[in-house]
A = this chain, B = another copy of it.
């Protein structure tokens, strides 16, 4: 029996090539396993036509190999729709975390608990989870308290994911640097 990587965490700044790299990684992984390829979109359906168009464009661009699931908050809700030994790309954690923090008012401890339970449930089914997120902390901390809390919230989740990940990757201008498991 082969050994497969169970969790990969990919972070980087805006337009650093994170999503493209993650999609290629997921496609290669699914091909190696011979299993299905799931895409978990965390965006609540946006109001802006521009954003809707960008989402449609991304979906078409990914091609027919992908099964797209949508869930803005309750990650566990998608578990029944997955299959064992598959590959799941969650893009992106940044959006999910802003939604659980601002709309669902989850505490950091609760968010970490939910995320960890989700990771464990996937690992139990030999599903490779690939998580994409944005680094937003290499700057002057925002003066607005709500935004500073969000930076702290998201970056604490990053630490939690990196600790649990088999691979942790940072993207810079389309280049991948392996912080863990390279």
Contacts and interface: CB of A to CB of B under 8 A. Distances in A.
Nearest to A14: B137
A146 B91 CA distance: 24
B14 A152 contact: yes
A179 B173 contact: yes
Interface string A147-182: 110111001101101110000101011110101100
Please classify the interface of chain A as helix (H, G, I), strand (E, B), loop, or mixed, using the class held by over half of its residues.
mixed
Interface in A15-38: 15-17
Contacts of A15: 137, 151-152, 155-156, 158-159
A165 to B, nearest CB: 9
A159 B162 CA distance: 25
